[in-house]
Amino acid sequence: RKILILNGPNLNLLGTRQPEVYGRTTLADIEAMCAAKAADMGVEVTCYQSNHEGALIDQIHAAREVYDGIVLNAGAYTHTSVALMDAIVSASLPVVELHLSNIHAREAFRHKSFIAPVAVGQICGFGAAGYPLAMEALVSHLEGTS
Ligand code: DQA
């Protein structure tokens, strides 16, 4: 099985960006965690990050041909992007929505997610540990065990 880990805007700054909210783990650390988890589960993983909405949409479209599912941390686009939501529906691939922080415990504008209604489910509030959790959730969904 092949999984795409897609990270959106400002997540390239993890480690130094508001560490009190997002922790000190860098994106490179997270990508290494995902690679280790993939090896553990016997799946293939590719990680991609962009600060650009259109680039994320292009990745989702292209993923259709290549991947079985996507773990998506869309960053702030989560709360604004009808276009990302439409891309997920068009790709018809299972998506697990992920956030490091608990978006429901933060500002009201972060409570709304355009991704949630078109995702298999959402994991948030567990920091970097959420990435391997989301991968597990996606694989068990793909295997029909959740
Ligand atoms: C985030 C939460 C979003 O509200 C925020 O805009 C981010 C990161 C998270 O991982 O906690 O950029 O997606």
CA dihedral sign, ordered 83, 32, 27, 134: positive
Cα atoms in the 13 Å half-sphere on the side-chain side of 79: 13
pLDDT bucket at 145, cuts 50 / 70 / 90: confident
Query: Mutate which of 11, 103, 131, 133 to test ligand 1's pocket (most atoms within 8 Å of Cβ)?
Result: 103
Exposed, middle or buried: residue 52 (CB in 10 Å: 0-12, 13-18, 19+)?
A: exposed
Q: Name residue, tokens 């490179």.
A: 28
Domain positions in the chain are: 2-142
pLDDT tens digit string along 35-80?
999 999 999 999 999 999 999 999 999 999 999 999 999 999 999 9
Q: Is 100 in the pocket of ligand 1 (CB under 6 A)?
A: yes
The CATH number corresponding to 2-142 among 3.40.190.10, 3.40.50.9100, 3.40.30.10, 1.10.580.10 equals 3.40.50.9100
Residue from 48, 99, 111, 141 carrying the catalytic annotation = 99
Q: Is 78 in the pocket of ligand 1 (CB under 6 A)?
A: yes
Q: Is the pTM of this model over 0.90?
A: yes
